[in-house]
Amino acid sequence: SAVISQKPSRDICQRGTSLTIQCQVDSQVTMMFWYRQQPGQSLTLIATANQGSEATYESGFVIDKFPISRPNLTFSTLTVSNMSPEDSSIYLCSANGLAGGADTQYFGPGTRLTVL
Amino acid sequence: RKEVEQDPGPFNVPEGATVAFNCTYSNSASQSFFWYRQDCRKEPKLLMSVYSSGNEDGRFTAQLNRASQYISLLIRDSKLSDSATYLCVVNIINFGNEKLTFGTGTRLTIIP
């Protein structure tokens, strides 16, 4: 299985600022993803982080608001830009690994963001 | 219509009881199916994959009906530690890109 860590685990930010969340996987993985989980809701995919190229964003999410980097096969960052209280959420990094011959998607512990 | 629909619950069942969750999905191109478990303030963790032939892992049994686009999870002899939110998850692979779509989850509480 893949072990995924995220930093920071939580943060409280002021409106209008930006926060960069880091995601580190302990092994090389093909796919990395960023999700958002708002209180009481399920997970919503923000984008797929592509190594060496621009991220692929889902409908409703744009690069200017959520720039993503993926410089190598084990690391990715998500920036939440020009934050507003509506961005308060848990942001989860995910990676697709290979376990027992089947693709399995693992999640990081999440970053709990509160925007004041 | 939501892509993945689940009964949100909550389900409150006594310890030792059997409980079943259902899930429907709208995209017939869905290719892989999973149940994830999410504990309070924790990340989702894979509970089990779901295969067309049905599969069992200890007290947990998962079933898939592709014709009806329906997935189920059965928990037998429930334990207090089974209390969690259970997420029905569907994977679509399109032109080499895969995307997991999550249901809103079914909250289960096992009562001593």
pLDDT 10s digits, B44-73: 999 999 988 889 999 999 999 999 999 999
Rounded to whole angstroms, the maximal C-alpha distance in chain A is 45
Task: State which of A29-33, A48-52, A71-75, A88-92 shows the largest mean pLDDT.
Answer: A88-92
Rounded (to 5) percent helix, strand, coil in chain A: 5, 55, 40
Chain B interface mutation, best of A21, A23, A36, A42, highest count of B Cβ atoms under 10 Å: A42
Q: Check B100 against A108: CB less than 8 A apart.
A: no
Distances (CA, A) of A26 to A95, A106, B100: 10, 12, 22
Decide if B102 touches A, using CB distance below 8 A: yes
Give pLDDT, residue A98: 53
CA distance B68 to chain A (A): 23
Record: contact A48-B103, CB cut-off 8 A: no
Decide: A95 and A106 in contact? Cβ < 8 Å.
yes
At B81, is the pLDDT very low, low, confident or very high (cuts 50, 70, 90)? very high
What is residue B107's predicted lDDT score, i.e. its pLDDT? Answer: 94
Question: From the CA of B76, how many Å to the nearest CA of chain A?
Answer: 25
Is A110's Cβ below 8 Å from some Cβ in B? yes
According to the model, what pLDDT value does residue A101 have?
A: 42
Instruction: Give the 3-state secondary structure of A23-57.
Output: EEECCCCCEEEEEEECCCCCEEEEEEECCCCCCEE
Q: Residue B102 pLDDT > 80, yes or no?
A: yes
Beta strands in B26-105 (DSSP E): 32-38, 45-50, 55-57, 60-65, 70-75, 84-94, 97-102
- For residue B39, is pLDDT > 60? yes
Residue of higher predicted confidence among B39 and A1: B39
- pLDDT at position A5: 96
How close, in Å, is residue A111 to chain B by CA atoms?
10
Q: Cβ contact (<8 Å) for A43 and B43?
A: no
Task: Find tokens 């960052």 and name the residue.
Answer: A77
Q: Give the model's confidence band at A97: pLDDT under 50 very low, under 70 low, under 90 confident, else very high.
A: low
CA atoms within 13 A on the CB side of A60: 5
What pLDDT sits at residue B31? 82
Chain-chain contact of B102 with A48 (C-beta, under 8 angstroms): no
Taking a contact as any Cβ pair under 8 Å apart, which residues of chain A between 22 and 51 contact chain B?
31, 33, 41-45, 48
Query: In the structure, what pLDDT confidence band is assigned to residue A100 with cuts at 50, 70 and 90?
Result: very low
At residue A39 the predicted structure's pLDDT band, cuts being 50, 70 and 90, is confident
Min Cα distance B34 → chain A (Å) is 10
